[in-house]
Structure 1
Amino acid sequence: MSLLVFGGLAGALGAGIQFSGDPSAAGPRQQLALFEVVDEAKPDLKTRLKTDAAEMAMLPQVDTDGYAEVESGDEPSLGIAYAEGAEATGTGGPSDDVMADGEGVGVRINGKLVKPGESYGEVTKIASLDDAPISGMTETVNGVRLPRIAADGRTPAEAYARPFANPGQKPVVALVVGGLGINATHTKSAIEELPPEVTLSFAPDANRLQYWIDRARAAGHEVLIELPMENYDYGRMKMHPQTLLSGKGADVNVPRLNTLLGRASGYFGVINYQGAKFAEDATAVRPVLDVLSKRGVALVEDGSLEEASLDKVADQTHVRYAKAASPIDTKLTADDINLELMELETIAKEKGAAMGAGYAFPITIEMAKIWTSELGPKGIILAPVSALVGTTPAELVDAERVATGSKAQAPVNPAG
């Protein structure tokens, strides 16, 4: 009974506190916080469009005097190199040899030397020669498109040549690699792997001849067309149907020449293919060179002909002419080819210029790549063959005929 009375009193007391009491008076209380409680404030914002002038005035000022004279070493590379201590038109590149003779005055951008007065676009354009045919430099004769001298006097020998200049009058070497267009792999290798200063010659019956010439010129190479000439001994080889023959006159050889010249366009000259027998017959040679002279096409001799009359007749007919010292790859070994190339360097240093001729054998292309890459430190310039051709054969120097030109001939084509 007493328990029931006590329970009733406790329940009544609790109900009274619930409806009328102050909980804070019941005893101490502790508040637990899961996050720190702070007064709210405006966040600091970086305003880009509009800033209070008063706030800007409160910002610390940074002194930038002298910053321009300090090199951090962290400047980005823009592909532009100036010579140390030079102005914007200072010497380009680190070569002492270039700086010494003034040949490299300018700025080197991405490996290209831009001289005062030139633009980068003008310099890089040389990497690709103009599309062929050039307007006004062809004519059609009996259904055959042939090269011709333009109305303004430009000749194919000039218009289709690769630009070249040698202001320092350094020794010059040139190289022609031929037999192209027959083997697509070798042709592609020569076009893409050899420096653009190397002249390329194409067989007249090459598959897609104009295509290959266009590709070569797009890569910067000037080109020649090979003229098959009668040899003494063909062995098992069959004579080309358009071979220029000894003992024959203009009535036979000129139509054959026109057929060969009409195979393509974009070549600055022609080069002999074989021809020991034909080249000895000055009577047969003359009408052929008369046509070349009339059409402004250059003649290059590959150095394989011992008793040729080509140089003498070229002199008489005023044909632009150049002759190689010798073939470089009659023996297809690296050592033998290298010896021939070293001989060209010797001739160039002694007489001003030298030219070699070879074929697009893999070993020839490989050796030519190595050789041309090493000419610069030797003080020798690689030139296109057109830079060595003159309106007459090479003059006599030291009582000897210079087969590959002279110092006076090298600048013949300074501007293309």
Structure 2
Amino acid sequence: MREELYRPLGQTLAPVAGTRRRARGPWLGGACLVALVAAGSVATALMQPGFAPPPVAPIAPSEVVAQKVAEPAERQPNVLRMEPGGGFTIADADGRRPLVDDGNPLTGSIRVLEPGSLRQPSAFAHLPEQALLEQTDFGPLPVRGTDGRRPLDVYAGDWSGTGGTRIAIVVGGLGVSQSGSMRAVEELPAGVTLAFAAEGNSLDRWLQAGRRGGHEVLLQAPMEPFGYPNVSAGPHTLKVADAAAGRLDDLHWSMGRITNYVGVMNYMGARLNADPAALQPFLGEMSKRGLLYLDDGTSPRSEARDVALANGTPFAAADLVIDADREPEAIARQLDVLERIARAKGTAIGTASAFDASIDGIRDWVAAAAERGIEIVPVSALAFDPEARS
């Protein structure tokens, strides 16, 4: 009877001989049954969505070939520049322009720049950023880059970024006197801002020297004064009637004379600064091109601050003129007044021209002021900037 239990149905087989052979039969059958159940369970599990293995994408032959191309031994690390509006730009080693046709942004080394730091590298400070220039009949004019950078951001002078008493000193008239321009560039500390007269000579030469020396730069544009035309700022003076009508050719002529500047400063221009209808298009042009405007502080009737705030234009105004009297003692007194203003309100801006007495007085005073805990900063550091990002 026991032997019949191990016979396949419908078949007559010889009896199984021996106890050992009969005992192996049930063990083998049970093992097979367990194996079949386990295999079925695994297959069922693998068919579930959560357990399905990820599909393997085929590799195109061109990709295989590209992986075999060796990187050049001297390749410089790329730069990953975080953009203010989100995202990033892969740029070349000096961070000055986006790379083109870089198939894989993760190849090579990546150096992450400080977010929001768009300042031009000091090694290239004397060269204009091509992405921030618009070629016109008046020459290259500053313009916002397609990536959102402004000349104000890129050409801004360096400073500590800390609090404390801060003073900006702007020395203008560079390009008018060759000896004065040379002394200003060579002798004034890097924190002093240099303003170049649009009607001056050898401007590109002095601009490059100043930028190599670490100076921030402004353009000094002639604007209509009271008493025009008997009192004139030059043949390319921006007149009130033209500015109010949006005719800015004279301004554009001045702006095309140099590059690498953070903004425009008035030369004369008391009447234009007092006329909101003329200031509106002018300051709108500054804002559109990513520049600041510095009012030299010579006109008590200026409306530039209010119009700049309404236009969202980066703006600064000088607190006093340092060298209205060119006597060394008078210049020293004005610098002391400037320091008292800065200690009272935290910051102050003074303007001067590139006269010998002014350069001597400012150079010596700056050296002594540093020992009293005063930092000389570029004028952009003290400008009100509605687009400033922390």
Q: Does 1:296 align with 2:290?
A: yes
- Once the 2 structures are TM-superposed, how far is the Cα of residue 194 of structure 1 from its aligned partner? 0.4
The 1:366/1:234 distance shift into structure 2, 3 A limit, reads farther
The 1:298/1:322 distance shift into structure 2, 3 A limit, reads same
- The letter for the 2-side match of 1:179 is G
**Could you say what secondary structure the match of 1:265 adopts?**
coil
The 1:369/1:221 distance shift into structure 2, 3 A limit, reads same
- The letter for the 1-side match of 2:257 is R
- Once the 2 structures are TM-superposed, how far is the Cα of residue 312 of structure 1 from its aligned partner? 0.9
Q: Matches of residues 152-163 of structure 1 in structure 2 within 5 Å?
A: 152-163=147-158
The 1:143/1:259 distance shift into structure 2, 3 A limit, reads closer
- Once the 2 structures are TM-superposed, how far is the Cα of residue 253 of structure 1 from its aligned partner? 4.0
CA distance in 2, matches of 1:413, 1:374: 33
Using the size of structure 1 for normalisation, the TM-score is: 0.62
Q: Matches of residues 25-174 of structure 1 in structure 2 within 5 Å?
A: 130-142=125-137, 144-167=139-162, 169-174=163-168
Aligned to 1:204: 198
Q: Does 1:387 align with 2:385?
A: no
Q: Does 1:215 align with 2:205?
A: no
CA distance in 2, matches of 1:413, 1:184: 38
**Could you say what secondary structure the match of 1:264 adopts?**
coil
CA distance in 2, matches of 1:138, 1:242: 21
Identical counterparts, % of pairs? 33
The 1:321/1:136 distance shift into structure 2, 3 A limit, reads same
Aligned to 1:344: 338
The 1:413/1:226 distance shift into structure 2, 3 A limit, reads farther
1:117-142 superposed Cα distances (whole Å, 9 cap, x missing partner): x9xxxxxx987662331131011234
The 1:126/1:190 distance shift into structure 2, 3 A limit, reads farther
Q: Matches of residues 259-274 of structure 1 in structure 2 within 5 Å?
A: 259-274=253-268
- Once the 2 structures are TM-superposed, how far is the Cα of residue 252 of structure 1 from its aligned partner? 6.1
1:188-209 superposed Cα distances (whole Å, 9 cap, x missing partner): 0000000011000011021121
The 1:170/1:294 distance shift into structure 2, 3 A limit, reads same
- Once the 2 structures are TM-superposed, how far is the Cα of residue 143 of structure 1 from its aligned partner? 5.6
- Once the 2 structures are TM-superposed, how far is the Cα of residue 220 of structure 1 from its aligned partner? 1.0
1:294-343 superposed Cα distances (whole Å, 9 cap, x missing partner): 00011111111111011111111111111110111111111211111111
Q: Select 1:232's aligned residue among 213, 220, 226.
A: 226
* Count of matched residue pairs: 273
Report if aligned partners of 1:129, 1:162 keep a CA contact under 8 Å in 2.
no
CA distance in 1, matches of 2:263, 2:130: 18
- Once the 2 structures are TM-superposed, how far is the Cα of residue 413 of structure 1 from its aligned partner? 9.1
Aligned to 2:81: none
Aligned to 2:72: none
The 1:173/1:189 distance shift into structure 2, 3 A limit, reads same
- Once the 2 structures are TM-superposed, how far is the Cα of residue 178 of structure 1 from its aligned partner? 0.5
Which structure has the larger Rg? 1
**Could you say what secondary structure the match of 2:240 adopts?**
coil
Gaps of 5+ in 1: 1-117, 119-124, 393-408
- Once the 2 structures are TM-superposed, how far is the Cα of residue 264 of structure 1 from its aligned partner? 1.6
Report if aligned partners of 1:163, 1:413 keep a CA contact under 8 Å in 2.
no
- The letter for the 2-side match of 1:264 is I
Q: Select 2:302's aligned residue among 302, 305, 308.
A: 308
1:198-234 superposed Cα distances (whole Å, 9 cap, x missing partner): 0000110211211211111011111111111111246
RMSD (CA atoms): 2.5
Aligned to 1:378: 372
Aligned to 1:8: none
Aligned to 1:96: none
Report if aligned partners of 2:332, 2:361 keep a CA contact under 8 Å in 1.
yes
**Could you say what secondary structure the match of 2:288 adopts?**
helix
**Could you say what secondary structure the match of 1:151 adopts?**
coil
- The letter for the 2-side match of 1:288 is F
- Once the 2 structures are TM-superposed, how far is the Cα of residue 235 of structure 1 from its aligned partner? 9.3
1:130-162 superposed Cα distances (whole Å, 9 cap, x missing partner): 233113101123463211111221100111111
- The letter for the 1-side match of 2:298 is S
Q: Does 1:359 align with 2:377?
A: no
1:364-394 superposed Cα distances (whole Å, 9 cap, x missing partner): 00000110001122121111111111225xx
CA distance in 2, matches of 1:199, 1:307: 25
Report if aligned partners of 2:138, 2:256 keep a CA contact under 8 Å in 1.
no
CA distance in 1, matches of 2:236, 2:217: 20
CA distance in 2, matches of 1:230, 1:145: 24
**Could you say what secondary structure the match of 1:201 adopts?**
strand
CA distance in 1, matches of 2:153, 2:353: 24
Using the size of structure 2 for normalisation, the TM-score is: 0.66
Report if aligned partners of 2:199, 2:234 keep a CA contact under 8 Å in 1.
no
CA distance in 2, matches of 1:249, 1:303: 20
1:86-135 superposed Cα distances (whole Å, 9 cap, x missing partner): xxxxxxxxxxxxxxxxxxxxxxxxxxxxxxxx9xxxxxx98766233113
Q: Select 1:330's aligned residue among 308, 324, 328.
A: 324
1:166-203 superposed Cα distances (whole Å, 9 cap, x missing partner): 33x11101100011111111100000000011000011
